[in-house]
Amino acid sequence: MKRTCSFLSLFLSLLFLFASCAGNGVIAPAGTPSDAQSGAGNSAVLPLTPGGSTAADTSLQTPSDAKTLLEKGDLMRGITARAPSVGKPDDAFLSAQTAFDLALFREIAEAHKGENVVLSPFSAAVALAMTANGAAGQTAKEMWKLLGGELSPDALNEGLYCCLKALTGEESALTFADAIFYADIAGFEVLPEFLQKNADYYNASAYKLPFDDEAVKAVNAWVREHTAGRIEKIIEAFGENARMLLINALCFDAEWEEWYPENMQRPGVFFTEGGEQTVTMMYSEERAYLNDGKATGFIKPYKNGYSFAALLPNENVTLDEYIASLDAASLLRTLRSAEKRRIDTGMPQFKSDFGADLKETLAALGMPAAFSLAADFSNINGKNDLYIEKVIHKCSISVDGKGTEAGAATAVEIYTKGISDNPAVVLNRPFLYMILDDSTGLPVFMGTLSSVA
């Protein structure tokens, strides 16, 4: 069946934003770090109004009641981010990060066949790395292995820091924000070292709040503001055992370097597995041609150092087959080795929204301990009583003749294991047992268990 660019282009568009932080890829680093990121004597608290294009839209700013709640719960007073002394990300980091991106996307795409899937694996990586900074033991080993392969935790933190530093800035099309919200509950305190590390690498703000309906509104307002309204809501409610929420939010708003003229936007046909759809196709001549033998594609630049990349599988290769064949090294090689030649391109205008709980996917990819009662997040609060309940990811993208708008948010929900003051009886050593008659209390059977055959 005849095909045109499908949801793989959505994945590659966001993945390619990440690839730009390399500085040695197809596109150059974007901008310079803002004052809030530099750590040069600045508070680690992120401004409640994000920078870039979202700041001017006052309708998206956090409502005053939610802002007051956040200001009262601000935990970062007295904690100043100390900018790590590192350079740009190296190939080892980029390969490891792309491997994670691709693995996550492949699993989600497989689970949502036939749907338009759009992710920001980079957002997920940042939120999970912040969480992994509180992990210990087997939990930490699994998380760092999945996120960074053979990289050390410090190397991965530094690589992500460098990417955030390179990808964002005063003139950048991309803005980000990180925050840690935790429950104002007696006996639950967060270690300063955990907050400090996430301030250093991710400029994360932190808030101590009563986890009630007002806190839900405040969290969702924070996400809505830092994604310029593209993600309306990230959580519905706090569970009874919820203790912490770690969130990364990304916002992308960029114009094409060359707009699609009106006369090059006209009705066309998009071929799906189930038939045909009438769409608005946009036509242009581009100058970066991609061909890896299984797919052809192109790169279209935005202003301010970003690019959109799309790959169309060959007629004899299905999209699922092509995704399954990709690996990090070959994908980076394809993106970096674009052929400089003129190419006639067509692409539909489209909008896509997607959301999923990444819990099962991440467990299958290699970090099951974090979601179990064996989880060890003792570097968060000094106790071994926390685990990850959910990893909620939401993403939205809109592509038209002028450019692209996208937003993403990842929220890691941390719960307590439910340890209480109730007496506990666990029959894990020899014990006496009986079968009783309820009316008289008479033992009808009695026995001991000394070993389990």
- Render the burial of 65-76: b for 16+ CB within 10 Å, e for the rest: ebbebbeebebb
Would you kindly state where each structural domain of the chain is located, as residue ranges? 9-255+351-416
| Average pLDDT over the chain, rounded to an integer | 81
The whole-number pLDDT of residue 442 equals 73
The CATH H-level (homologous superfamily) assignment of domain 9-255+351-416 is Antithrombin, subunit I, domain 2 (3.30.497.10)
Weakest-pLDDT range from 109-118, 409-418, 441-450: 441-450
The whole-number pLDDT of residue 136 equals 98
Weakest-pLDDT range from 7-11, 86-90, 418-422: 7-11
pLDDT above 90: residue 224:
yes
Query: Which stretch, 31-45, 316-330, 369-383, 434-448, has highest mean pLDDT?
Result: 369-383
Q: Which amino acid is at 156?
A: L
Query: How far, in Å, CA of 401 to CA of 107, rounded?
Result: 31
Weakest-pLDDT range from 18-22, 219-223, 276-280: 18-22
How do residues 139-165 score in pLDDT, each as one tens digit? Answer: 999 999 999 999 999 999 999 998 888
pLDDT above 90: residue 26:
no
pLDDT above 80: residue 118:
yes
pLDDT above 70: residue 59:
no
The more confidently predicted of residues 409 and 449 is 409
pLDDT above 90: residue 250:
yes
- 170 within 8 A of 38, measured Cβ to Cβ: no
The whole-number pLDDT of residue 362 equals 98
User: Span 11-40, mean pLDDT?
Assistant: 37
The whole-number pLDDT of residue 275 equals 85
The whole-number pLDDT of residue 7 equals 40
User: Span 265-291, mean pLDDT?
Assistant: 91
User: Span 162-174, mean pLDDT?
Assistant: 81
**Torsion of the alpha carbons at 386, 144, 320 and 323, rounded to the nearest 10:** 150
Query: How far, in Å, CA of 5 to CA of 297, rounded?
Result: 9
DSSP H helices, 83-180, are 91-111, 121-132, 137-148, 153-167
pLDDT above 70: residue 30:
no
The whole-number pLDDT of residue 62 equals 56
Weakest-pLDDT range from 179-183, 319-323, 374-378, 437-441: 437-441
The whole-number pLDDT of residue 453 equals 54
Which residues contact residue 230 at a Cβ distance below 8 angstroms, ignoring those fewer than 6 apart? 251, 396, 405, 406, 407
Per-residue pLDDT band for 243 (boundaries 50, 70, 90) equals very high
User: Span 39-61, mean pLDDT?
Assistant: 32
The whole-number pLDDT of residue 180 equals 96
Burial of 140 from C-beta contacts in 10 A (0-12 / 13-18 / 19+): buried
Which pTM does this prediction carry? 0.80
The whole-number pLDDT of residue 82 equals 66
Per-residue pLDDT band for 423 (boundaries 50, 70, 90) equals low
User: Span 190-208, mean pLDDT?
Assistant: 94
Query: Which stretch, 58-67, 146-155, 320-329, 443-452, has highest mean pLDDT?
Result: 146-155
The whole-number pLDDT of residue 436 equals 72
pLDDT above 80: residue 369:
yes
- 190 within 8 A of 75, measured Cβ to Cβ: yes
Q: Which long-range contacts (CB under 8 A, 24 or more apart) does 52-55 make?
A: 52/170, 52/172, 52/173, 52/174, 52/175, 52/251, 52/253, 53/173, 53/175, 53/228, 53/251, 53/253, 54/175, 54/225, 54/226, 54/227, 54/228, 54/251, 54/253
Per-residue pLDDT band for 52 (boundaries 50, 70, 90) equals very low
- Radius of gyration of the chain, Cα coordinates, nearest whole angstrom: 25
Per-residue pLDDT band for 320 (boundaries 50, 70, 90) equals confident
pLDDT above 70: residue 171:
yes
The whole-number pLDDT of residue 431 equals 66
